[in-house]
Amino acid sequence: MTEVAAVDEAPSGPADDDWAAAVAAVRDLPADARVLLICHVNPDGDALGSMLGFGLGLRRLGVRDLQATFPGPAEVPEPFRWMPGVELLVPQDDAYLDPDLVICFDAASKSRLGDLVDRLDKARASLVLDHHASNTGFGRINLVDPHAAATSVVALELLDRLGVTLDAEMATGLYVALTTDTGSFRFEATTPAVHEMAARLVATGIRPGDISRRVFDTRPFGAVRLFGEVLGRATLEPAAAAGHGLVWTYATHDDLARHEQPAYVLEALIDSVRCTEEADVSCVIKQSGEAEWAVSLRSKGAVDVSAVAVALGGGGHRFAAGFTGRGALDELVGRIRAELATATLIAP
Ligand code: AMP
Ligand code: MN
Ligand code: MN
């Protein structure tokens, strides 16, 4: 099998020059500058939360012509619709065509920006805020910190350097982002600095109980029934991933339609699957088109699923990654199995 990757191989965060360039790009904006914020397709809590939290910070700095958007249908997943800053959102087709500054959030590559990539190319300046080790550095200025638990960590640091005073509205988005990407402070990336940031955010007066209930613990009853069905057909393959084990399941458009559910409810499915003790790797395959699937991969630490996702055309982090798969479901599962059989193991 396999090379063994060192645990701490990710490159370090942004250099002082990058921070200085990012601060200048915002500070030196003319009064009539149009600023466009873009986060990744199928936005999650980190993508939306860091974008809207940062956007409200730009408002405080006096940026007037400001839009936030993401590729694809303009629908914000229900759990995030209440967040302060959603009023900044516009459908992708309404986004400035040639903004003065584009700022991207939580996107590791241009491919995560869908049709909005042309805005990036046309913008006078571009700034990328992210925390994926696989980030391709596609901005003119790149603030990428692979050690950051969420993109909102990078966003808050930039707001601090811009001299913006944190308030509860900004803190709400940044907190949603931080709790989403740390699995509510359960994942490996939950360092003392993460808790210190959370303390700062909570000290603004936001209510973590309310926020967690809205984001993580409120779903339609139909979603509960849908989960029952989809979890009922989960498959455990103990010999997969070189004996570390794989557990997987899938959900189709037909499953969603039968239970009258929107696609976003499936985002939480991976958490119910990955608790399987007998498998290091978990996988949820969600239909996203006629013969197209959004694949989520998680690892408990033995297997680098980011490398698996990259090999299959996607990206992500070592313990949480994904890709878009095409073709028949059984062939797709076969490709995942094959990639896992020779996957990179992470040193204990
Ligand atoms: P998800 O399973 O959708 O929650 O995504 C887990 C991680 O994988 C996130 O950090 C995503 O940025 C990354 N990811 C998911 N899908 C893709 C994709 N199609 N291409 C690149 N990265 C992805
Ligand atoms: Mn994300
Ligand atoms: Mn993230």
Q: Read off the DSSP letter of residue 146.
A: T
CA of 112 to the centre of ligand 2 (A): 10
| Pairing mode, strands 292-299 and 281-289 | antiparallel
CA of 215 to the centre of ligand 2 (A): 15
Atom of ligand 1 nearest to the CA of 132: 10
Ligand 1: which of 40, 42, 44 to mutate, most ligand atoms within 8 Å of CB? 44
pLDDT for 3: 37
pLDDT for 230: 98
- Indicate which residue's Cα is closest to atom 9 of ligand 1: 316
Model confidence at 234: pLDDT above 90: yes
Residue with tokens 């974008």, as numbered in its chain: 51
- Indicate which residue's Cα is closest to atom 15 of ligand 1: 322
CA of 34 to the centre of ligand 3 (A): 25
Ion ligand 3: residues, Cβ under 5 Å: 46, 106, 151, 181
Cα dihedral 337, 190, 205, 69 in deg (nearest 10):
-40
3-class SS letters over 205-259: CCCHHHHHHHHHCCCCHHHHHHHHHHHHCCEEECCCHHHCCEEEEEECHHHHHHC
- Indicate which residue's Cα is closest to atom 20 of ligand 1: 314
Contact 84, 204 (CB under 8 A): no
Contact 185, 149 (CB under 8 A): no
CA distance 214 to 52: 17
Q: What is the mean pLDDT of residues 254-274?
A: 97
- Indicate which residue's Cα is closest to atom 10 of ligand 1: 316
Ligand nearest to the CA of 267: 1
Q: What is the mean pLDDT of residues 8-30?
A: 89
Contact 223, 265 (CB under 8 A): yes
- Per the prediction, the chain carries an average pLDDT of 95
Give CA separation, 338 vs 223, 231, 243, 332, 344, in Å.
32, 23, 13, 10, 12
CA distance 94 to 92: 5
The answer to whether the CB of 321 is under 6 A from ligand 1 is: yes
Six token digits for residue 195: 């808790």
Chain CA centroid to CA 166, Å: 23
| Domains located in the chain, CATH noted | 16-216 (3.90.1640.10), 221-341 (3.10.310.30)
Six token digits for residue 147: 């050690």
Share of the chain above pLDDT 70, in %: 97
Cα angle: 208, vertex 128, 152; to 5 degrees: 10
pLDDT, tens digit, for every residue of 166-200?
999 999 999 999 999 999 999 989 999 999 999 99
Contact 139, 150 (CB under 8 A): no
For 31: left if phi > 0, alpha if psi spans -120 to 50, otherwise beta; the answer is alpha
pLDDT for 340: 98
Instruction: Read off the amino acid at residue 322.
Output: G
Model confidence at 91: pLDDT above 70: yes
- Indicate which residue's Cα is closest to atom 19 of ligand 1: 323
Atom of ligand 1 nearest to the CA of 313: 20
pLDDT for 10: 52
* pLDDT band with cut points at 50, 70 and 90 for residue 346: confident
CA distance 243 to 246: 9
The gap between the terminal CA atoms of the chain, to the nearest Å, is 16
CA of 175 to the centre of ligand 2 (A): 14
